[in-house]
Amino acid sequence: MMIFFRSLRLRRAARSYFGWDRLRPAQLDAMRALLRGRDTVVVLPTGGGKSAVYQVTASLLKGPTVVISPLLALQHDQIGNLNDRGNPLLRAVRVSSAETPARQAAALQEVREGKARFLFITPEQLSSPERLAEVRALKPKLVAVDEAHCISSWGYDFRPDYLALGHIIRGLGRPPVVALTATASPPVCEDIIDRLGMRKPVMVRTGLDRPNLFLEATHCPDEDYRWRRLLQLLEASKPPGIVYVPTRAAAEDLAERLTAAGHEAHAYHGGMATGVRTRRHQDFLADQISIMVATSAFGMGIDKPNIRWVAHYALPDSPDSYLQEIGRAGRDGEPAHALLLHRAEDVALQRFFTGGAPDLAELRTVAAALHSGPVKNRTTLGKTTGIGPRKLTSYLTMLEQVGAAAISVKGEISVPRYAPLPDLAARTALADHERHQAGQRSRIDLMRRFAEQRGCRMQALLAYFGEQLNEPCGHCDSCHGGTSEVISADVPFPPHSKVRHADWGAGTVLGYEKDRMTVLFDEVGYKTLSVPVVQSQRLLVMEPA
């Protein structure tokens, strides 16, 4: 009976406040959990209505909702969507580096007086003890962590500033938390839950298959072929569309080349001035730019339903980023096209981007400085060690992950009671970093196999995310070419089961496609194994539950 009444209240709120006649089952499940005060993880595909989950729920709570979001452009769009409704109960304000101190104070005052329901803020703002105290005093009833995959080092868009969110949420008085993302494989979900300190969260996720999205991958023997194949796509498809490239220079060069060829295009990347990026973002949403050539910086916040195609002009760095980026096409439910143009050289470029190893001596210096006694803040630690702020933040993150550093809600840095000594701490942190680098390299290898395979592409992609699609999807080039196959229901290990390999250690079975299985190993990352070989040579054994 209580489920019925909660559902009724939520549907009424969705209709009266937002004009939505219906809510999707997954949205309703997540909203009901939040109304019960339960922590909730929400994994819905791009365009699946994640924002509605916290917005509708917040309209029924007697207090403000804090929305932690990583990008100002993403915040700007969500705030605009709420305030354009003209309802005081949905008013949203923001505290960020884009506002003057006076405007920040005014925003907090509006929330304090009950004139605003939503406070949008970045993790960087909440890392200030003074700001954290101000937001805690507002007594938030819900914390929404948008793009929650950013907290996971297994995720494709890991951000060190997100690692402090577990401390921050406790510093806010520990209200219920909803973590929202469009792309989260099983290990990423586990990381989100662990790092946010979520308490027995309700997991809400729907299928990631997009039947209106046609997937195609083409091997390009040389750059001229890649260029001509892109032109074919543009001549055969309606705008708007996005071309993803791996570097800033490639974005500038390809945009100029397309424009010269009669396809007016604009570049977008993280090296541009903030004002230029904001203007181009807005122009694309307003259909004033029909082709955007961009790095992965053009991503979160692209809430545009009519994108007809997304092209990757090189191999993406992981299945995570690939699924997120192609998911921006066809959000209106109409047919859309995702084209991947890849060369063997793309793999070497992506491996170059994974970067080198941290300096062991510097890591040891930071760990030793902390063992001398608590440090007031990062600025003080930087002066003591002589290490720059960006590198210092990375080192502290690494040490915190292995229990060699602790950061209080006031920003004080100390050593936990049973922390390893500096040398061991530095070596353990470095080994942990190398393990995650191995995971990233394995994601690149998975992406290469995805591009080169002849089986159903959606089966292969969803297997990585722990979702089993037994029948061929019917909307990829392999299915249309007749090379896809039905996956046998007789598999040696069920998806999500825990297994062990003699050399690679413990792992989790993610899924199957054709006669191959994808396993994520804790130490070496993702591996795609031949099922017949696994069975004949008994390479895996089931771990006890």
For the segment 103-113, the average pLDDT, to the nearest whole number, is 94
Token pair in block for residue 274:
């903030």
Q: Which CATH superfamily hosts domain 213-353?
A: P-loop containing nucleotide triphosphate hydrolases (3.40.50.300)
> What DSSP string describes 360-415?
HHHHHHHHHHHHTS-BS-HHHHHHHHT--HHHHHHHHHHHHHTTS-EE-TT--EE-
- 2-205 against 213-353: fold identical: yes
For the segment 255-274, the average pLDDT, to the nearest whole number, is 94
Predicted confidence (pLDDT) per residue in 135-167, tens digit: 999 999 999 998 888 887 655 556 666 777 888
Q: Spell out the residues 6+ positions from residue 86 whose beta carbon is closer than 8 angstroms to its own.
A: none
Region 472-542: CATH code: 2.40.10
* Of residues 285 and 46, more confidently modeled: 285
CATH class of segment(s) 360-434: mainly alpha
Alpha-carbon gap, residue 529 to 517, rounded angstroms: 5
Token pair in block for residue 408:
């209080």
For the segment 13-24, the average pLDDT, to the nearest whole number, is 90
Of the pLDDT bands very low, low, confident and very high (cuts 50, 70, 90), residue 270 is: confident
Of the pLDDT bands very low, low, confident and very high (cuts 50, 70, 90), residue 354 is: low
* Of residues 122 and 162, more confidently modeled: 122
* Chain mean pLDDT for the chain: 88
Of the pLDDT bands very low, low, confident and very high (cuts 50, 70, 90), residue 280 is: very high
Predicted confidence (pLDDT) per residue in 500-536, tens digit: 999 999 988 887 877 888 888 887 888 889 999 999 9
CATH domain 2-205 topology? Rossmann fold (3.40.50)
Predicted confidence (pLDDT) per residue in 199-239, tens digit: 999 999 887 888 999 999 999 999 999 999 999 999 999 99
Of the pLDDT bands very low, low, confident and very high (cuts 50, 70, 90), residue 102 is: very high
Q: What is the domain partition of the chain in residue ranges? A: 2-205, 213-353, 360-434, 472-542
For residue 264, is pLDDT > 80? yes
For the segment 399-410, the average pLDDT, to the nearest whole number, is 78
pLDDT given at position 211: 92
Element (H, E) at 232: helix 223-236
Cα 446 to chain centroid, rounded? 18
pLDDT given at position 158: 61
pLDDT given at position 355: 63
> What DSSP string describes 316-344?
-S-HHHHHHHHTTS-TTSS-EEEEEEE-T
CA atoms within 13 A on the CB side of 117: 19
For residue 242, is pLDDT > 80? yes
Predicted confidence (pLDDT) per residue in 124-142, tens digit: 888 788 899 999 999 999 9
